[in-house]
Chain A
């Protein structure tokens, strides 16, 4: 029996982690393999009690936890939802996660929450807004956050900055760190017809506190061009593993998350993805 005494971890290890799903509770606690930390979607743990909080309390004593917000709408045109900021604060106060991250995206407009990570143009105006929102969040949580690069399917005519420059400028203005999703880099580059290695060359790797790896689906747009969908519903694709190896060769080992949110596999399948990341990290 593992010791369930509560203790806190102040950082994520430079090792594989997985996005936590309740069906993996037993596998994780009995046979974690190389999985050394967990990531949870913050919004799933904002109830007042019951199984989700009890499981998280148990797991947080065993593993460092990364709280990953999916609902704050940092890229939104409208002000941040104060109630939601307070909920995030409450979660971080009791969970004391080793890391907190959110997305360069928007998901709320007016009173509608759209449950997807939607894209924004990169301009001086959107940069100011995103930087203000990141600062507001960091002030509310009393901690530094990591901001994640999005996956995109289309381009905005009004963009005047590259995504890498935009992210770098946000870190300059706010002091936040970055979460680099390597699958998103590959998905966006394929969808926009750009070079993922060029993107990574421009990415400020020294500011990265965590990496994400996930699976995508392959499709075509109406003009016969490849269209990759960031589905998190299968194994990480080989070209993404190749980019991942290049990133950690350059940046050194980093906490690396396997994300598999849809068509969630059995524990051994997910663990074998983590084993593949562990093998790559051993060479970094």
Chain B
């Protein structure tokens, strides 16, 4: 018997236990092999429940069978269980709201394990004269993530895990930040997602131009205040 045969039987409950295994009394391994089957699938289901608590809360009783099916279809491809579940958004593609919520939960998990970085001191930014301020390049923290959804994902996440009001009937752009060790999702005002993503390769003024291109009412002050307050910025460089 090879480990390939053992693996195939572990992941497919319809297959018999592999040849060459036995019980001490000489009987078929049956339930003894099922212990391994159960360990594998249940441990993966538990990892998914821990990794996608909001999806689990919204799905209720449907989460268990879904996660068992996911575990059998997509066992981990690495021993780092902290990374398990990357394909959940596509697995849930038929339920786009849940699919995007899974995307948010992956972003929160990535943020949790991202490198530490000291936050930018707001004084450095607020003390610059406006014309110099607009020329700076801002660096976002490694634990920062931006995602956009046609669904109110951040509101759904909050409601699923912390209760509260009904999610609004509109899409949300979300900024994930990690001020200390616990990532938090923040709903972004219009244009802010474009602005934050533009910081990657643009000066502050160019990022504002791009943001205003998508949302004429883009509010720079509010967006920078949110980013400074949540540790989303780590560094600034003045350009000439």
Complex interface: chain B residues within 8 A of A154 (CB): 21-23, 29, 32-33
Instruction: Select the stretch in B72-80, B89-97, B160-168 that faces chain A.
Output: B72-80
How far, in Å, is B232 (CB) from chain A's closest CB? 15
Q: Using CB atoms, name the residue of chain B closest to A118.
A: B36
Q: Which of B1-32 contact A (CB under 8 A)?
A: 1-4, 6-7, 10-11, 20-25, 27-32
- B39, B77, B113: the one contacting A111 at CB < 8 Å is B77
How far, in Å, is A73 (CB) from chain B's closest CB? 8
Complex interface: chain A residues within 8 A of B29 (CB): 154
Q: Which of A220-234 contact B (CB under 8 A)?
A: 221-223, 225, 227, 229
Is A279 among interface residues, defined by CB-CB distance under 8 A? Answer: no
How far, in Å, is B21 (CB) from chain A's closest CB? 5
A-B CB pair tally, cutoff 8 Å: 139
Q: Using CB atoms, name the residue of chain A closest to B30.
A: A222
Q: Using CB atoms, name the residue of chain B closest to A114.
A: B40
Given A72-B79, A77-B3, A115-B44: A191 in contact with B32 (beta carbons within 8 A): yes
CA distance A221 to B39 in the complex (A): 15
- B3, B20, B39, B114: the one contacting A48 at CB < 8 Å is B114
Is B201 among interface residues, defined by CB-CB distance under 8 A? Answer: no
Q: Which of A41-89 contact B (CB under 8 A)?
A: 43-44, 46-52, 54, 70-73, 76-78, 81, 84, 87
Complex interface: chain A residues within 8 A of B7 (CB): 109-110, 112, 114
A227 x B31 contact (CB < 8 A): yes
B25 x A225 contact (CB < 8 A): yes
Q: Using CB atoms, name the residue of chain A closest to B33.
A: A154
> How many residues of chain B get a CB closer than 8 Å to chain A's CBs?
47
Complex interface: chain B residues within 8 A of A116 (CB): 36, 39-40, 43
**Most central of B4, B80, B116 by chain A CB within 10 Å:** B80
Interface of A is mostly: loop
**Most central of B24, B77, B79, B114 by chain A CB within 10 Å:** B79
> How many residues of chain A get a CB closer than 8 Å to chain B's CBs?
50
B32 x A221 contact (CB < 8 A): yes
B20 x A157 contact (CB < 8 A): yes
Is B190 among interface residues, defined by CB-CB distance under 8 A? Answer: no
Which A residues contact B (CB, under 8 angstroms)?
Answer: 43-44, 46-52, 54, 70-73, 76-78, 81, 84, 87, 106-116, 118-119, 121, 153-158, 191-194, 221-223, 225, 227, 229
Q: Enumerate the 10 nearest inter-chain pairs by beta-carbon distance, A residue then B residue, closest first.
A: A71-B79, A47-B113, A193-B24, A51-B181, A49-B116, A49-B115, A113-B76, A154-B32, A109-B7, A112-B75
Given A115-B47, A116-B43, 13 extra CB contacts under 8 A: A47-B113, A48-B114, A50-B178, A70-B79, A84-B78, A107-B79, A108-B79, A114-B75, A116-B39, A118-B6, A153-B36, A193-B24, A223-B27
Which B residues contact A (CB, under 8 angstroms)?
Answer: 1-4, 6-7, 10-11, 20-25, 27-33, 35-36, 39-40, 43-44, 47, 75-82, 112-117, 142-143, 178, 181-182
